[in-house]
Amino acid sequence: MTEEPVNVNEFRELARQALPKMYYDFYTGGAEDQYTLKENEEAFRRIIIQPRILRNVRSIDLSTTVLGYNISMPVMIAPTSLQKLANPEGEIATARAASACNTIMVLSTSSTYSLEEVAACCDAIRFFQLYVYKRRDISAKLVQRAENNGYKAIVLTVDSPRLGRREADVKNKLVVPPLKNLEGLLPTKFVSDEKGSGLAALASGTLDASFCWEDITWLKSITNLPILIKGVLTREDAIKALEVGVDGMIVSNHGGRQLDYSPATISVLEEVVDAVRGKVPVLVDGGIRRGTDIFKAMALGAQAVLVGRAVVYGLAAKGEKGVNRVLEMLKEELELTMALSGCCSVKEISRSHVRTKHDQQLRSML
């Protein structure tokens, strides 16, 4: 009998055993040299936790809110595409696990179940991730469908005017299954060529590389839903995002899959948080594998984190139960980290609970 996994990294190994190489490489791979992919995890390891002792931590409250929605812990499910490649139940299983764990799922535009099917399967709080296409009417239709089906926010991905070069997908000639949300709107089958994967062919043929800050006004004009932008990595862009009136920001480098040698998200989170000054929520994704990672992100100002690959590993290994277990693992680890650090609630996690490499450099100069 196989031993039960005790952490997220062990779920990754189970996913590797369960999946064809092409699909495992798709989920785990990053752009080019994969520097940013690796750095997303490594940067967390350079942050030290500074615990407080002799606090009454008999009762720990992990609950929080995002855009006014109550969730059981500051962990949301990031938009990850093509989940049927991991498990036949795909996004349906993930949504049900989100509902069971009382957290928010962000559904990808590039999902293998339609947004209507996911909405009908359970009562999870759902946000919808949006790409803007050359044909704006297609994006507008997706937004209206999301709004009509009870999705609570639009998460606009802003780091993908083109697709990053994911060399494993190029080598494997990744075949993209039909994208259910785009049926009847765009060709849903794209074939790889010698230059790239099927996903790259889809992106280059359909994504609007001209979409810019001024166009956020257009997006706001077609929906009443709050808009979060996903892909902010600098102070300058955080300030610009506030100026155009977004409702939230996700510090993200697309899981290291777009621009290689862009910074690890945890290393720039504080810069964005400082620029935003509490005006809108700031979330972060990328490299989160442990409860200690979540704690560090909260200490540096994130309202919540999003996990993508960890969820897919659970899905590939054990379906809905696997996603549920991954989320519960992260919750249990975060609760333990909070107790050992002297924090009874997420509100008590403060900047003084962590020491970054920058803090250490400043101390050495004094």
pTM metric for this prediction: 0.95
Annotated binding residue 285: yes
- H helix or E strand, kind and range, residue 34: none
List beta partners, residue 133: 207
Annotated binding residue 90: no
Residues with active-site annotation: 254
User: 103: which residues sit within 8 A by CB, 6+ positions away?
Assistant: 71, 72, 73, 75, 76, 77, 124, 125, 327
Among 297, 309, 302, CA closest to 334 = 297
> Looking at beta carbons, which pairs linking 357-363 to residues 24 or more positions away fall under 8 Å?
357/46, 357/47, 360/48
List beta partners, residue 311: none
3-class DSSP state for residue 65? strand
The dihedral formed by the CA atoms of 306, 310, 315 and 316, expressed in degrees to the nearest 10: 150
Query: What burial class does residue 20 get, using C-beta atoms within 10 Å of its C-beta: 0-12 exposed, 13-18 middle, 19+ buried?
Result: exposed
Annotated binding residue 16: no
Annotated binding residue 257: yes
Annotated binding residue 235: no
Dump strand ranges (E) for 114-238.
125-130, 154-157, 227-232
CA-CA distance, 310 to 86, in Å (whole number)?
12
CA-CA distance, 248 to 269, in Å (whole number)?
14
DSSP assignment string, 252-281: --GGGTSSTTPPPHHHHHHHHHHHHTTSS-
- H helix or E strand, kind and range, residue 138: helix 136-148
CA-CA distance, 304 to 223, in Å (whole number)?
24
Annotated binding residue 363: no
Tell me what pLDDT residue 197 has. 61
Asked if 235 contacts 272 with a C-beta cutoff of 8 angstroms, the reply is yes
**DSSP secondary-structure letter at 112?**
S
Tell me what pLDDT residue 198 has. 59
Burial 283-322 (b: 16+ CB within 10 A, else e): bbbbbbbbbbbbbbbbbbbbbbbbbbbbbbbbbbbbbbeb
Phi/psi of residue 128, each to 5°? -120, 125
CA-CA distance, 127 to 74, in Å (whole number)?
15
Annotated binding residue 252: yes
Tell me what pLDDT residue 1 has. 42
Task: For residue 241, give Cα distances in angstroms to 166, 217, 238.
Answer: 28, 11, 5
Tell me what pLDDT residue 255 has. 97
Annotated binding residue 157: yes
CA-CA distance, 122 to 108, in Å (whole number)?
17
User: 283: which residues sit within 8 A by CB, 6+ positions away?
Assistant: 66, 76, 228, 248, 249, 250, 251, 302, 303, 304, 305, 306
Annotated binding residue 52: no
CA-CA distance, 187 to 171, in Å (whole number)?
23
Pairing assessment for the beta strands 75-77 and 304-307 based on DSSP bridges: parallel
Question: Cα 97 to chain center, whole Å?
Answer: 16
Asked if 227 contacts 247 with a C-beta cutoff of 8 angstroms, the reply is yes
**DSSP secondary-structure letter at 291?**
H
Pairing assessment for the beta strands 354-355 and 48-49 based on DSSP bridges: antiparallel
Domains of the chain: 8-365 (3.20.20.70)
For residue 94, give the amino acid letter.
Answer: T
Query: What burial class does residue 22 get, using C-beta atoms within 10 Å of its C-beta: 0-12 exposed, 13-18 middle, 19+ buried?
Result: middle
3-class DSSP state for residue 206? helix
pLDDT in tens, the chain (366 residues): 468 999 999 999 999 999 999 999 999 999 999 999 999 999 999 999 999 999 999 999 999 999 999 999 999 999 999 999 999 999 999 999 999 999 999 999 999 999 999 999 999 999 999 999 999 999 999 999 999 999 999 999 999 989 899 999 889 888 888 899 999 998 756 555 556 665 666 666 789 999 999 999 999 999 999 999 999 999 999 999 999 999 999 999 999 999 999 999 999 999 999 999 999 999 999 999 999 999 999 999 999 999 999 999 999 999 999 999 999 999 999 999 999 999 999 999 999 999 998 887 767 766
List beta partners, residue 126: 105
